[in-house]
Amino acid sequence: MTGRHRRHLPSAARFAAIVAGALAVAGVVVGVRAGVGRVDAADCATPVRLTVAAPQEIASAVRASAAEWARTKAAGKKGCIAVDVQARSAPEVAAAVSREQRVTLAGVGTAQAAAVPDVWVADSASWLLRLRTAAPAFAFTEDGSLAQSPVVVAMPEPIAKELGWPRKQLTYADLLTAMTTDTSVRPGTVDPSRDAAALSGLLALDAAAATQPRADAAGAVLRALATDASTLREDLMAQLPQSDDPGTLAGSLGLAVMPEYDVVAYNSDQPAVPLTALYLTPSPAPLDYPFAVLPGADPAHADAAHRLYEHLTQSPAFRERLGVAGLRSADGTIPTGLQTPTGAPRATPPPADGGSAAAPKVDDAAINRTLAAWSAVVAPARALAVVDASKSMSTPVPSARNATRMQVSLAAAKGGLKLFGDDWQLGLWMSAAGLDTNGNHRELVPVRPLRDNRGAVAAALGSIRPSGGDGALYRTIVDGYRQLRDGWQPGRVNSLIVLTDGVGDEEITLPDLLRQLQGLRTQDRPVQIIIVGLGDAVDRQPLEQITDTTGGGVFVAEDPAQIEAVFLQALSLRTATPR
């Protein structure tokens, strides 16, 4: 859960509080289903039951205002409405949507039980952007924002003062130096594939690092943050110092990106060491709580949802409830009751647009590139890349100035190679019928550490050309999977990465392939298969059966000119646990 933290307690008491809180949230969700729907629709034979999922920090404000609205004539003029507001984290809802859309999103997987709501109030529009990129048919309606919370860099106050705050307005350059060269400041983060605030901050830090003279500044930032990465924000908050003595400060979390509301909540408990919130310029994209009506809602539910949004955005009571929850209004201004940290702007400054080199526009390409780079750092791989070299890969791509499928594939692979650290182990094969004595693939570079292998891989990628043969994908997948399993190494994501424009005339049948993979698969040596497909003629069904057997995922660039974005998205998935 990525919602607001609760009072900081010693470990045993804190664990009990977390368990109690989780049970309370579960009770609230069940209670709302059983209670609000019945109370608000008591006089209705067939009420419209609208389900709304929202993160914990805003759910209570939405629930209270929705209950008030459901009792009004404005809500009932087209029939009775019951609103069920469920406190659900963004990764949980994203996993449920991913399951329904048959896609996989890095960091969240697919939920097996959770239902998809009628309305989703995610904490950030970046979730909707990621899902729309992964599933272009994900046709939701986004009405607008309900609230905001600026994304800040939080530091224990004594550490911020050592860097010159508040006399000096700290900059990205100051923080990058502190993160990568000052051993007295211990940075940390929540996994950005699961936390929108962490992703927003990482995008801004990465953009700032690109302007620094140090060639590897962006990589140094990622490595520094990954050292103390947490899955849950509560775990990150638990690492904050409990006293201001030098030893405790040196061993505790000294810098982390988080939403403003978390700083407000933490300081409201009057901790021994309060947090300082740094509002950087240009600012990271804030959490903006978009109100999205999800696909599948019938006209009555969609109409009720849109009218609920109008009520929330026009309600003074809802604005006051946001302030109590530690959130700003949708326009970024401060509502009554919100005590912001020292130095907070009166209104959230807009993030810089794509014209600024220091803060590029937050789009799907930037997100995919950042998450792929994060995955490359936190999950070093032992990987074998297979490039389909069948004759169909010579097909021109009109949207890529008639470059061939092979050329656009290799360009994407070369871009991915730049993300991989020297501790990666990588090998390269090309695959087509009749290539070599084994009849289906040729080893171009054996799997070895990139510190010794990078030049050889880059040169081999530049030498691959489509052959005159048909595809031989199934046999190559079996051979590649077997080699990776036999040479499997702990502490790494062992992956077979396949770039192909689809299944051709295969030597073995799909059932035979699946039986062989099932026979090779072992629980103690998991190997993922990541398949990147090119073109709108790719049949996903057999490829998905392969990855369902081994773990991994299928990513298809229907327009091969978009292969780079899809390739980066596929790389970011590697943090998922193999099944």
Half-sphere exposure of 456 (CA within 13 A, CB side): 16
Contact 262, 129 (CB under 8 A): no
Tell me the whole-structure pTM to 2 decimals. 0.74
Burial of 436 (0-12, 13-18, 19+ CB in 10 A): exposed
Among residues 236, 256, 278, the one where a domain terminates is: 278
For the record, the structure tokens of 126 come out as: 């970046």
Do residue 464 and residue 556 come from a single domain? yes
Specify the pLDDT at position 521. Answer: 95
Tell me the residue length of the chain: 579
Contact 278, 152 (CB under 8 A): yes
Range of the domain at 223: 151-278
Tell me if 342 is assigned to some domain: no
Residue 396, CA distances (Å) to 173, 405, 557 in order: 45, 6, 15
Do residue 137 and residue 156 come from a single domain? no
In b/e form, how buried is each residue of 56-82, taking b as 16+ CB within 10 angstroms? bbbbbbbbebbbebbeeeebbeeebbb
Tell me if 138 is assigned to some domain: yes
What's the alpha-carbon Rg for the chain, to the nearest Å?
25
Do residue 446 and residue 387 come from a single domain? yes
Tell me if 558 is assigned to some domain: yes
Which parts of the chain have pLDDT scores under 50?
A: 1-42, 352-360, 576-579
- CA–CA gap between residue 107 and residue 137 (Å, rounded): 21
Do residue 137 and residue 250 come from a single domain? no
Do residue 266 and residue 229 come from a single domain? yes
How many domains, the chain? Answer: 3
Residues forming a β-bridge with 317: none
DSSP secondary structure of 259-314: EHHHHHHHHHT--SSPEEEE--SSPPPPB--EEEEPTT--HHHHHHHHHHHHHHHH
Specify the pLDDT at position 135. Answer: 87
Specify the pLDDT at position 356. Answer: 39
- Three-state DSSP class for 87? strand
Report the CATH number that the domain containing residue 296 is assigned in CATH. 3.40.190.10
Do residue 498 and residue 394 come from a single domain? yes
Do residue 136 and residue 155 come from a single domain? no
Specify the pLDDT at position 44. Answer: 64
